[in-house]
Structure 1
């Protein structure tokens, strides 16, 4: 029983009783009424008084009604008393004596609520730990209908139904804390195949990946130096690996993300915010993704500089890395620079324009006995039609003239993507996405459902492009 409903019933009974009493009193005055009429004419004054006395029958009726009012008042008092007893009976509370076993259903429920409340308090208030999650699942159709369901030059989406990503984010705030991101699904499968956990043996592709796990410490110097040590995602790129509070504009990852940049690093970082306009980050790490098969333990240097105006409607971030990433060639270094400009013009509310440019060069016999370089550019146009409906258009090209990052054949690849995202109003944190994408290359590199070469395992006939249509649901909390 709802306490509010019982209280409303009692209140209505009081109101009925009060109206009845007022009505009876008004009728009683009508039955026993004294009327006085006063007439004044200049100086003389005449007063006429008329008295109406209730008959014996009317008096009996008045006494009977008064008795009924008294009975009604008594019933109302009895009802109020019963309501109070019911409210006390349904009160959910743990046992009155600490450590005592619960004797009623209410005490069982109250004890469970108290335990849950205590756990939440210990994690959030006392320990400063927060736990969040994200699930991204959907269906994608590749109109090439490729053998093996492979979408060429994609980070981790593929043809057909798929669990794109399951993410568990655990974090502790404070002077000393930690961050961990545990990924599941196709994202984990792809990341674990390409990266190196730390300094242990590579385990190959699998459907679980501890993508991030690092300690944090804020040194009390100036405004506070933020220190990180462990494994973390790269600072480079406009796009990143999704977490509950950081979703990319588009569902699929772009060419720059998949072909031009690393995914994770293991090392240390230090960040400092100078003022409202300038911040910087510097670090040392083991290199790109899988240092066990790349850099012979040579350190890579990374840095980032962020500039923005007061309200952050205009910002510019430049990231860079440099260090050995070629197995057996510790003096052959890979250098990368990546700039990202973001503008939210005040004269067009809800519009975001973002541009990224990437250039990288690697020394030594990277491919075909010589060095290699690659570059690319991406443009994003994002507009929020309403707080629930967003349109994100991405266009980009990636030039791999030496074939070091694609198939070994020098080529230029470009793509255009249109994504619509809709926040489901009935469920907080639920997002629906619909995306169409076209990829194209200067070479025939895209697989289809044609015949397979039994020697190479590839299609006899490759195409210049591919088109995909995807529908996904993302739930984050």
Structure 2
């Protein structure tokens, strides 16, 4: 009986133990499943004797991670797009602010930079209109300022053989032009800056004593009268710029092709004259001028009892695409020598070929000679040749190239017997936002047959300074802004 009971108890214990083992195994599987679900990136490995089973799950993680990155990138792109839109909006506001225009409502105060500029332009225009309507007077002006660098870096900022420019920052020219048209009128040009300094040092206002270098010069001031004969004979009396040369002293409506002036302009021909002139236009093809004046350069010092004779003959075709201008001048120009005369002839030809639109070709030739004991007891001769090639890429952008040769055979004009040449490249750009504003960039190379151009290197003998070192050439680069109205 006891053995049976013992057997039964043992069987029951085995049964309970088996059920417990089965329950543990089921719970273990459930725990494994829970672990896999909770962290799919976990790799689970189960071993049974020598057989290994490995299960790896990563797909869900990859999908979730890429989606998060895409969401983040999408947000960043949206932020960048918003910033771009904001920047575009600000740029449009700035463009609107600097656009030159008068206030939209009459009498309103200007609120932007452009409206301030537009209002100033309107005020100037109103003043000019009042003067023109009431007095028949026209007022114009220009300002030319910029920076020039001479690679020789000369002492004193002096650019040799240049007349209106120097090394460094400068006010090249300020000009106020006032004129009155009509049967009787007048023209006045007041210059300031480097142009005035050069002119006042080289010329006289009339027959008065020399006033010396200064930053003001009344370059032109003359009366005009138109006689009702034929198409009208125009008379001028006073001080006026010379008719000679391809280049002239700039005014609001004549800025020239290049920023710097040619050697011919600076040393070959006069700047101004004091005297009388008469001009007549015969037809569309021919016009002429004649005049009497006190001479050229330093007229009060050099004139010796006789006037100088000047003339001009202009020939051109109907549309002015081809023209030829010749300017002769002759007269006494040496103190104390009434038989010493200076004669010069300057010729300028201009061609605008129809088969190359926007191209201008211009050639100038000068020959001059002065008799008498000018240099070392004998006469002097000089001559020059200049070629201009001008092309307008657009109505706003112009390229002007000038190549020039000047032979000062006896040194009468530059102080040294030498042959000079130069080449100049100028780019001019009309800034569209402001009417009358012109930007210029220019490179120029000058060269001489002699050591003529200075730099900042001194010459020393036994430790004693004896002068500046001289070179054969100089190179300059300058940038200027010109505003004319």
Q: Closer, same or farther in 2 for the Cα pair 1:459/1:469, shift >3 Å? A: farther
Partner of 1:346: 354
Partner of 2:146: 138
SS at match of 1:327: coil
How far does residue 453 in structure 1 lie from its aligned partner after superposition?
7.2
Partner of 2:424: 417
SS at match of 2:456: coil
Partner of 1:263: 271
How far does residue 452 in structure 1 lie from its aligned partner after superposition?
5.5
SS at match of 1:256: helix
Question: Do residues 194 (structure 1) and 195 (structure 2) align?
Answer: no
Q: CA RMSD in A?
A: 2.1
Distance 2:125 2:371 in 1: 58
Distance 1:128 1:458 in 2: 60
Give unpaired runs (5+ residues) of structure 1: 1-89, 94-114
2:458–2:465: 8 Å Cα contact kept in structure 1?
A: no
Partner of 1:149: 157
Q: Which of 425, 445, 457 is matched with 2:452 structurally? A: 445
Distance 1:416 1:459 in 2: 28
Deviations 1:305-340 (A, max 9, x none): 000000000000000100011111122000000000
Deviations 1:85-143 (A, max 9, x none): xxxxx9869xxxxxxxxxxxxxxxxxxxxx99996555211311010000000000000
Question: Do residues 432 (structure 1) and 430 (structure 2) align?
Answer: no
1:448–1:459: 8 Å Cα contact kept in structure 2?
A: no
Distance 2:167 2:412 in 1: 26
SS at match of 2:132: helix
Q: Which of 390, 395, 404 is matched with 1:387 structurally? A: 395
Distance 1:474 1:215 in 2: 28
Structure 1 segments of 4 or more deviating over 3 A? 90-93, 115-122, 456-460
Matches within 5 A, 1:159-238: 159-238=167-246
Question: Do residues 295 (structure 1) and 270 (structure 2) align?
Answer: no
Q: Closer, same or farther in 2 for the Cα pair 1:458/1:419, shift >3 Å? A: farther
Q: Closer, same or farther in 2 for the Cα pair 1:281/1:453, shift >3 Å? A: farther
Partner of 1:48: none
How far does residue 460 in structure 1 lie from its aligned partner after superposition?
4.0
1:294–1:326: 8 Å Cα contact kept in structure 2?
A: yes
Q: Closer, same or farther in 2 for the Cα pair 1:368/1:457, shift >3 Å? A: farther
Distance 1:175 1:210 in 2: 23
Distance 2:267 2:252 in 1: 25
Deviations 1:373-426 (A, max 9, x none): 00000000000000000000000000011111112x311000000000000010
1:447–1:459: 8 Å Cα contact kept in structure 2?
A: no
1:181–1:211: 8 Å Cα contact kept in structure 2?
A: yes
TM-score (norm: length of structure 2):
0.73
Distance 1:262 1:457 in 2: 36
Distance 1:431 1:281 in 2: 33
Partner of 1:281: 289
How far does residue 297 in structure 1 lie from its aligned partner after superposition?
3.9
Q: Closer, same or farther in 2 for the Cα pair 1:295/1:438, shift >3 Å? A: same
2:456–2:469: 8 Å Cα contact kept in structure 1?
A: no
Q: Please, which moves more after superposition, 289-298 or 253-262? A: 289-298
Distance 1:194 1:457 in 2: 30
Distance 1:122 1:443 in 2: 56
Distance 1:253 1:463 in 2: 21
Distance 1:226 1:242 in 2: 22
How far does residue 289 in structure 1 lie from its aligned partner after superposition?
2.5
2:275–2:294: 8 Å Cα contact kept in structure 1?
A: yes
SS at match of 1:192: helix
Distance 2:329 2:139 in 1: 32
Q: Which of 352, 358, 369 is matched with 2:377 structurally? A: 369
Distance 1:147 1:120 in 2: 44
Partner of 2:327: 319
Deviations 1:188-215 (A, max 9, x none): 0000000010121110110000000000
Distance 2:481 2:465 in 1: 34
Matches within 5 A, 1:8-23: none
Q: Closer, same or farther in 2 for the Cα pair 1:385/1:127, shift >3 Å? A: same
Q: Closer, same or farther in 2 for the Cα pair 1:453/1:362, shift >3 Å? A: farther
Partner of 1:471: 479
How many residues end up aligned between the 2 structures?
Answer: 366
Q: Closer, same or farther in 2 for the Cα pair 1:141/1:92, shift >3 Å? A: closer
